[in-house]
Amino acid sequence: MDHDGAVQHAWKIAYQLVLHEEYSVVSSDSQVIHLVRSKGRELHYIRLVISDYLWGATLSHDIEQGARMLEGMRRNMQAGTAQGLIVYLFYKPLTEDLEAHFREPGLAELGIRLDAATLILPEQQWAGMQPSTFPNLFGQDRITGTPIDEGEEHPPSYWAHKIDQLEQQKEQEVQQTFFYGKPHVTYGLLFIIITVFVLMEFAGGSQNPDVLIRFGAKENARIVAGEWWRLITPMFLHIGFMHILLNGFALWQLGTAVEQIYGSYRFLFIYMLAGIAGAVASFVFSTSLSAGASGAIFGLFGALLYFGTQNKVLFFRTMGRNVIVVLLVNLVFGFVSIGMIDNYAHLGGLFGGFLASAVVGLPRTRFRPAQQIGAFIILAVLLWAGIPWQSF
């Protein structure tokens, strides 16, 4: 294999990493291709280098220089840790003394890890470190996998064009997924809860129990006595300025994201069902007077989790890890603050939102009878079991 063949093979490798492993080509020249991907708080980096020989001192210099560059990328992309691999693609046999250098560990410090490995292209064999040493960087051995278009030669520009097409498809997928709808309902809900809060303040104060009961807070004895609508109205009430400030901010952040993914009609269905499910769970497990949109807001977390089950790659490539971390923090805070926070409403809303999302499904996806009807039955049974039907 000559230099031109090695360049062609390097671009084939880059194409496979973009296609199968969610990498993006950030820069390239006649000798080097740089690829990056972000997985939550982790930054992954691969550098493909075409070479026919390499001095041991040059290898050490490449690793040190690459580590500094990787640290800069980590900071710019606000990643927690960064892991990288320099792959030298040799189109000539590797000498034994240089092969020994590749068996040595790379550089690892302060959240940065950068290693080097070499692939002998004529034999398609690794020398020194193996790809199995880097499980976070390769889902499988994309580098020595089945050749693309075997027997058909293409210049590097061909693969670069195909990579550009993949990048455009990814961007289009993100645009279609996360900007399907506009957050009109979210803004309408914010207007309603702010208006109700102002009216409560003028009526005697949003922290006054009598005012809360008058405006429709969840109060178990009155629900049992026939005021079933108190399973709906609490999601529009808030107790004190900090309560509405925190829930309003959460609704603005989560609501806009969920409504843009699901569209307004699906979003309203999810929000209302989650709010009712949260109120029902609070009624069943807590006797305290309660109000707030937090059950419905946790339902929006449930909607995002459902989205994650249907599109795992895009979910974790964008918001996945942040959503899970924020959700767990809020749940833990609710459990350690028993008596101050109605965590039953949170859990009820979370499950209600997830099931309601499964009922309506995602836009541009085909109807799934078993899943959607099954989710509807489970949600209906849970609500039926918790609602005091004698109050109707």
* C-alpha span between 298 and 345 (Å, rounded): 9
H or E stretch including 251? none
Calculate ∠ Cα 222-228-231, nearest 5°.
100
Residue with tokens 């550098």: 47
* C-alpha span between 265 and 363 (Å, rounded): 11
The answer to whether residue 346 is catalytic is yes
User: What dihedral angle (degrees, nearest 10) is formed by the CA atoms of 156, 161, 165, 170?
Assistant: 50
Q: Indicate which residue of 38, 346, 357, 391 is catalytic.
A: 346
* C-alpha span between 99 and 208 (Å, rounded): 76
Q: Would you say 1 and 91 are in contact if contact means Cβ atoms under 8 Å apart?
A: yes
Cβ within 8 Å of residue 89, ≥6 positions away: 6, 9, 10, 13, 48, 49, 50, 51, 118, 119, 121
* C-alpha span between 32 and 89 (Å, rounded): 10
Angle of helix 369-386 relative to helix 264-285, nearest 10 degrees, comes to 40
Phi and psi at 28, nearest 5°, equal -165, 160
Q: Indicate which residue of 243, 294, 357, 391 is catalytic.
A: 294
Q: Would you say 189 and 255 are in contact if contact means Cβ atoms under 8 Å apart?
A: yes
* C-alpha span between 306 and 45 (Å, rounded): 30
Using the Cα atoms of residue 209, residue 213, residue 219 and residue 222 in order, give the sign of their dihedral: positive
Which positions are annotated as active-site residues? 294, 346
